[in-house]
Amino acid sequence: MRAITAVAALVAVVALPSPAAAATSAVTCQYIVNSYPYGFTASIDILNSGPRLDGWSLRWSVPEGTELGSVWGARMTQPTPSEMTATNVVWNSSIATGSRVVFGWTARAATSIVPTDITLNGAPC
């Protein structure tokens, strides 16, 4: 018989539309995180309710000590110990009106937070 160990996970789902950008941007970003001991998995769901987007780039803060792991659905980098960036890949570079793109990653970290400073192409998302 195999022993099965259950690990409790913290799941947070937060939609992060910016009040300042709401009047000028019809794009929202939803950050979803699933924490576990020594790390987390996270994803961002970009929903476009406005005109077609051709190419996208996101930037947000993470706690220092966060180490980027595997990535799917985007190209990601960690330019500083407290910053992440993500850009489209060829097959999801355009986001049509009413469409969404979701990408995700894993990270090693002592803690995870839901960032409040996500920007899309330089504007709050």
Check whether 17 has a pLDDT greater than 50: no
Closest CA to 88 of 102, 74, 98, 101: 74
Selected residue with higher pLDDT from 117 and 21: 117
pLDDT band at 94 (very low <50, low <70, confident <90, very high): very high
Residue 87 and residue 94 in contact, taking contact as beta carbons nearer than 8 Å: no
Query: Which backbone phi and psi does 37 adopt, to 5 degrees?
Result: -55, 130
By CB atoms closer than 10 A (0-12, 13-18, 19+), residue 68 is middle
Q: Count CA atoms closer than 13 A to 72's CA, side-chain side.
A: 7
pLDDT score of 5: 36
Total structural domains within the chain:
1
Q: Is residue 30 part of a domain?
A: yes
Q: Is residue 18 part of a domain?
A: no
CATH code at 103?
2.60.40.290
Give the chain's largest Cα–Cα span. Answer: 58
Q: Please state, as a whole number, how many other Cβ atoms lie within 10 Å of the Cβ of residue 114.
A: 15
Report d(CA 1, CA 83) in Å as an integer: 44
What is the span of the domain harbouring residue 88? 26-115
Report d(CA 103, CA 53) in Å as an integer: 16
Check whether 72 has a pLDDT greater than 80: yes
pTM: 0.78
- AA letter at 57: S
pLDDT band at 12 (very low <50, low <70, confident <90, very high): very low
pLDDT score of 13: 41
23-58 confidence digits (pLDDT tens): 346 999 999 999 999 999 999 999 999 999 999 999
